[in-house]
Amino acid sequence: MPYSVTYDSENCFILTTLWGAIDQSIVDDSRFDVARLAKQHNCFAVIADLREATSAVSTMEIYKLPQTTSAQISAAGMPIRRFKRALVVAQDLLDDPVFFETVSQNHGQNVRIFHTLEEAKKWLSVA
């Protein structure tokens, strides 16, 4: 499994770490695990650490991610608007994450891109 999803009870956030080539099925599986933990712990702050990941997701799939995320989270019985999500990406990986951030925000989702875990935690107010 090229990802892990854990709940940080001390700081109340969910940390998803992905590595290697990430495709749509991995995104779907990790999102399911995040939804499960969010519901279990009533926690809607999420950090996705993608610094060791490479994208095998097409631009069209990235464009659809906010819709599929909303659908999957809604199917789990939670509104996507409760979530605050921080994506941590490598410095040299800019185009896809910024596009994803823009598309997500255009769909009313609270998503931001960062280059360090510390920045992401600070934004989530869990530092």
Biggest alpha carbon distance in the chain?
37
Give residue for tokens 């995320």.
69
Structural domain count of the chain: 1
Q: What is the pLDDT of residue 58?
A: 81
Closest listed residue to residue 50, CA positions, set 109, 110, 105, 98? 98
CA 5 – CA 112 distance, rounded (Å):
19
Domain range spanning residue 33?
3-124
Q: What is the mean pLDDT of residues 105-114?
A: 93
pLDDT above 90 covers what percent of the chain?
61
pTM: 0.88
Q: Residue 23: give its domain's CATH number.
A: 3.30.750.24
Cβ-in-10-Å burial (0-12, 13-18, 19+) of 32 comes to: middle
